[in-house]
Structures are given as C-alpha cells and as structure tokens.
Amino acid sequence: MKILIDNGHGENTPGKRSPKWSDGSQLFEWEYAREIARGVYNQLRAKGIDIELLVKENIDVPLAERARRANEIAARYGKTKTLLVSIHCNASGTGKGTGWEIHTSPGKTKADDLAQIFWDIANRMFGGTWKIRGDWSDGDGDWESNFYILKKTSCPAVLTENFFMDNETDCKFLLSPEGKAQIIQLHVDSILKYIEDYA
Ligand SMILES: [Zn+2]
C-alpha cells in the first residue's frame, strides 16, 4: 500500500492563516499542514509503511499538478493500492466555527471506508471535548465535497479539516504541542487501521 500525504497551500498562498492573537501567536495553514504531514510521514515511515509527501516544495503547487503526481503514482502502484490524505485547517470567516471534519468526493468509494475510520478515531480522541462535525445525510459521517484533489484523483482520497484556525480556542489547541501530537496520532492511527482492514 502506497500512502500519499498532501499538505494544503504554500507560503505564497494569500489568506489561509489565523488572525494574530493577543499573545502574538499566529497559524499559517501551509506551514502547519507541512508540520503535521512531516510528523505523520516520520511515524508511519518508522513503522515500515511506504509513504510519500506529495508536495515537497514550500510554494503552492497547483491542484492540477498535485492530482497529476498522485495519479502517476496510483497508475504505478495500482489505484486500490494507493491512498491520498490531504491535510488542512478549517476557517469559518466568523471565528465561530469549531471542531474537526473529513471530506470525500460524492458517491460511495473506498475513500468512504477510510473517512469512516478517521471519523470514528477522531470521535474517540476528541469527541468528549470537541465537536466532530458529521454530515449523516448519506449514512456516514464524512462530508461529500467537490474538492478538486478528491474528484480528480484516481485513488481513494480524503481531506481532513483539522479544527478552525480562525477560532481562538481551536487555534490555540492546534498550536499546542499536545494538539499537534494528537492530530498527527489521529492520521497515523487511521491510516494504519485502513491498511489493517482493507489492504
Ligand atoms: Zn486549506
């Protein structure tokens, strides 16, 4: 099984950052997603998992190029032997959004199995304290979205929106060492469980 980790955005992407909080801290989504991606990569690599960072650059690599890279690898390893996880932080624009959610492309694919594993583990890890946002209209907890990276990739792909960077409580959790460790853990555990159940 080949695992591809995608990190949202680049250092040149406008917006995609938290407000600067009163203590001077601020989250930049491109930088944060890379830190989480690197942590997931290191931990799974240490467990012998074949894992690759889709975007090694710090600049924003266009979605079409991200999808092209993923599809090239999926063609080599086989669509069902490749998985893509794209890591993001959410923003509501109002500062009032909170919690965690996961997206797949519309319709039932293997991505829904992976998303459900993520959702269940997120609910176990964070459910008592945080809102785990679910869209249950189609019987599972993931959100069906027409995101380019989900629709244009040939392998199962999910996109995690890890808490809201424009909500101060969420953002302080994201920036804390425990928050980072837990978000990395969620991704590591979910990918390992998928490999165990479906690979
Ligand atoms: Zn994003």
Q: Mean pLDDT, the chain, as a whole number?
A: 96
The Å distance, Cα 15 to ligand 1 centre, comes to 10
The Å distance, Cα 102 to ligand 1 centre, comes to 12
In the predicted model, what is the mean pLDDT of residues 90-117?
A: 94
In the predicted model, what is the mean pLDDT of residues 86-109?
A: 95
Residue 28 has pLDDT above 90, yes or no: yes
Residue 129 has pLDDT above 90, yes or no: yes
The Å distance, Cα 50 to ligand 1 centre, comes to 25
**From the CA atom positions of the chain, what is the Rg in Å?**
16
Instruction: Provide the pLDDT for residue 138.
Output: 80
Instruction: Provide the pLDDT for residue 168.
Output: 98
The Å distance, Cα 159 to ligand 1 centre, comes to 9
Query: What is the C-alpha to C-alpha distance for residues 163 and 42, in angstroms, rounded to an integer?
Result: 22
Instruction: Provide the pLDDT for residue 165.
Output: 98
Residue 119: Cβ within 10 Å count: 23
In CATH, the number for domain 2-198 is 3.40.630.40
